[in-house]
């Protein structure tokens, strides 16, 4: 994993207290480029997100499943997927040219602030044409 990208995820996302876990996924290969400290994204999570951005209608209708949990789709479009599960936790995923940025939130966090943080990092990568 890339230490520069891992440091960016740590400083911009998890260190804020608004993102529980996060990772940067290479869309082309479906591999993890970086992840927050202590977080090891499963192949199931990675593949579900890569497939999800290719099957947005299905995600909107059926939700998205990974790591043994089902997430209700709150939003799914060409740039992002928002998923929520019972109890108030969930995730935000943002797609750029090369990457999918994933971030989860717990019940004690505000999803709108998590979304803002993930989208801001996505905008950074988009500005770099990545």
Count CB-CB contacts under 10 A for residue 108: 9
pLDDT single digits (tens) 64-86: 999 889 999 999 999 999 999 98
- The CATH code of the domain that includes 36 is 3.30.450.30
Instruction: State pTM to two decimals.
Output: 0.94
Cα separation of the two ends of the chain: 17
> 81-111: per-residue pLDDT in tens?
999 998 889 999 999 999 999 999 999 999 9
Domain ranges, residue 97 = 3-127
| Structural domains in the chain (count) | 1
User: Burial of 24 by CB count in 10 Å (0-12 exposed, 13-18 middle, 19+ buried)?
Assistant: buried
């Amino acid at each position: 994993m890339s230490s520069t990208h891992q440091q960016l995820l740590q400083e911009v996302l998890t260190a804020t207290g608004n993102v529980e876990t996060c990772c940067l996924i290479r869309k082309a290969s479906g591999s993890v480029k970086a992840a927050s400290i202590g977080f090891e994204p499963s192949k199931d999570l990675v593949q579900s997100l890569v497939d999800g951005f290719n099957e947005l209608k299905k995600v909107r209708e059926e939700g998205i499943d990974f790591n043994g949990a089902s997430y209700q789709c709150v939003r799914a479009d060409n740039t992002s997927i928002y998923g929520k599960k019972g109890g108030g936790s969930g995730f935000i995923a943002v797609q750029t040219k090369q990457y999918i940025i994933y971030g989860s939130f717990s019940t004690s966090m505000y999803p709108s602030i998590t979304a803002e943080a993930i989208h801001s990092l996505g905008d950074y990568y988009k500005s770099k044409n990545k």
